[in-house]
Structure 1
Amino acid sequence: MQVLMRPWGAMHYRIDGPEDGLPVVFANSLGTDLRLWDAVLPLLPGIRAIRYDKRGHGLSDSGGPVSIADLAEDAAALIEATGGPAVFVGLSIGGMIGQALAARRPELLRALVLSNTAPRMGAPEIWAARIAAVRAGGVASIADAVMERWFAPPFRTTPALHPWRNMLARCDAQGYIAACEAIAAADLTEAAASLRLPALVIAGDQDGSSPPDLVRGTADLIPGADFHVIPGAGHLPCVETPAAWAALLAPFLQDHAR
């Protein structure tokens, strides 16, 4: 296992693919770990995939209270440690990290992929209610409600749902709460509007966490950004519709491999 030591503790990461491949950093959503990308990596041959568990998720240490800016600094440190510049792919909170990173450290990025994300995601009172629920009953107490926002109805009827519910339910409660607080406090509208790098923005038409119109608004802030909606996909299209998601990403990566 590969570990990058940060001031707050150990950050777990993994590299797959050829040493001379295009570096692509993948940042996970809230409540998931780096296995989020397992289904799409075989569909993106030739890249040097750099995946990591953000603070309080997967095999990384918790690290206590955190902001989106702090998480962006962690991503910057990973890119510097593994050899950049890289294409950054972020989903949900991972996309918020990508927006902050691109605004703060543009020299580290070749291009940016924002999937199912926005500069501001949900009103603070919504996050406060979720945090209160987790404090009262643990992450497992909200798992069924989250599955309804993450996945379209057909996926939720299949056995494939259960590992994702388990992943969420077993997430460290304090790490999950810290990430919720970071999202609640973040407004990256100015940061997104300042971006001048190639960007691909992806939404799912069944996404209950970041609906397509919200994600489209993100693309509208970034000059020249490409925007696509995947039919039948919820909040995690890389899980639910990996072939369709990879079909959008692959040509974008080829365009920016040089």
Structure 2
Amino acid sequence: MKIADLGDVKIHYRDDGDPSGAPVVFSNSLGTDLRLWDDVLPHLPGGLRLIRYDKRGHGLSDCPPGPYSMGALVTDAERLLDHLGVKECVFVGLSIGGMIAQGLAVKRLDLVRGMVISNTAAKIGTPEMWQERIDGVRKGGIEALADAVLERWFARPFRETDAFAAWRNMLVRQPVEGYAGCSAAIAGTDMLAATAQLTLPTLAIAGSEDGSTPPDLVRETAELVKGARFELIRGAGHLPCVEKPEEYAALLTGFLKEIGHV
């Protein structure tokens, strides 16, 4: 296990593949850790440097007291990439990870040559909605919200598989402080104007059954970025990299080849 000491926070990460290969960086959704991408990586081309990390408050990374800001989450990603000597990566972010991708591209275009914004938007929900979720988590723990969250995460067929139990366990075992802290970061984020200024190569991915960031919301976000491509994975919810890993990997591979990153 690898830990990057970034000063005020220690971030757990994995650095797989070819150390000299073109870097692809993966950022997770709220309530998951870096295992989110386990089933995608084996289907990607060889020769890539594949970096995953647990954002603050999740997985094996530190969980400082919240609330967090999106600026802090973006800075964590920025400092991690600087720590690892990464330049010109393709940054793949899902949900809150997709917001981090947008913020990092705005702040440090030298670090990001292309981005994949998956099941995300420039603005997700309302501050009131997120405050209600934060209050619910602090009162009853993540368990109190788990069933409603998981219905948005996964299409019904996946919820009937044995693997579903593992994802439920992953969600409810994240630290309450980290979940609430990152929820606050989403609540305070509106990147519509900033994202509309981006021109880097961009792939947007949505799941047809996504109840958290519906396809139309993802499509509208893609339309903010000049030349961005939108792709829909049918039969998948908020985490298509889990439900349809081969299809997800095929879209990502096509994008990497298209921009000459393979």
TM-score for the superposition, normalised by structure 1: 0.98
1:157 matched to which residue of 2? 160
In 2: Cα distance, 1:198 partner to 1:235 partner: 23
1:26 match: 26
| 1:74 corresponds to | 76
Misfit runs of 4+, over 2 Å: none
- Runs of 5+ unmatched residues, structure 2: none
SS at match of 2:11: strand
Identity of aligned residues (%): 57
For the Cα contact (< 8 Å) 2:6–2:80, is it kept in 1? no
Query: For 1:208 and 1:247, how far apart are their aligned partners in 2?
Result: 23
Partner of 1:44: 44
8 A Cα contact 1:84 1:108, kept in partner = yes
* Structure 1, unaligned runs of 5 or more: none
In 2, the alpha carbon distance for the partners of 1:191 and 1:102 equals 10
Distance across 2 between alignment mates of 1:205 and 1:119: 19
**Aligned AA (1:53):** D
The counterpart of 1:148, out of the listed 141, 147, 151, is 151
Report how far residue 119 of structure 1 moved: 0.5
Higher deviation after alignment, 26-35 or 2-11: 2-11
* Deviation (angstroms), 1:190: 1.1
Q: Within 5 Å, which residues of 2 pair with 1:4-19?
A: 4-19=4-19
TM superposition shift of 1:63: 2.2
CA distance in 2, matches of 1:169, 1:257: 36
Does 1:231 find its partner at 2:234? yes
For residues 220 and 45 of structure 1, what CA distance do their matches in structure 2 show?
Answer: 28
Pairing partner for 2:243 from 240, 244, 247: 240
Q: How far apart, CA to CA, are the structure 1 residues paired with 2:241 and 2:143?
A: 23
What secondary structure is seen at the aligned counterpart in 1 of 2:91? strand
Which residue identity is paired with 2:261? A
Cα RMSD for the two superposed structures: 1.0
1:107 Cα deviation from its structure 2 partner: 1.0
Equivalent residue runs for 1:31-110 within 5 Å: 31-46=31-46, 47-64=48-65, 65-82=67-84, 83-110=86-113
User: Shift of the alpha carbon at 1:256?
Assistant: 3.2
Q: Within 2, Cα distance between the matches of 1:160 and 1:68?
A: 31
In structure 2, what is the Cα distance between the partners aligned to 1:183 and 1:9?
Answer: 19
Note if 1:133 corresponds to 2:133: no
Deviation at 1:85, TM superposition (A): 2.0
Q: Does 1:119 align with 2:148?
A: no
Shift of 1:251: 1.5
| Whole-angstrom distance in 1 between the partners of 2:158 and 2:143 | 20
Distance 1:9 1:70 in 2: 10
Cα distance in 1, alignment partners of residues 72 and 135 from structure 2: 23
Aligned to 1:107, the other structure's residue is in SS state coil
Q: How many residues align structurally? A: 258
SS of residue paired to 1:106: coil
Query: What residue identity is the alignment partner of 2:255?
Result: F
Name the SS for the 2:82 alignment partner.
helix
Contact 2:154 2:210 in 1 (8 A): yes
Query: Residues 184-218 of structure 1: CA distance to partner in whole angstroms, max 9, x if unpaired?
Result: 01001011101110000000010000000000001
CA distance in 1, matches of 2:151, 2:260: 35
Q: Give the distance between the partners of 2:141 and 2:255, measured in 1 at CA.
A: 39
Matched-pair contact (CA < 8 Å) for 1:111–1:256: no
Deviation of 1:8 (Å):
2.2
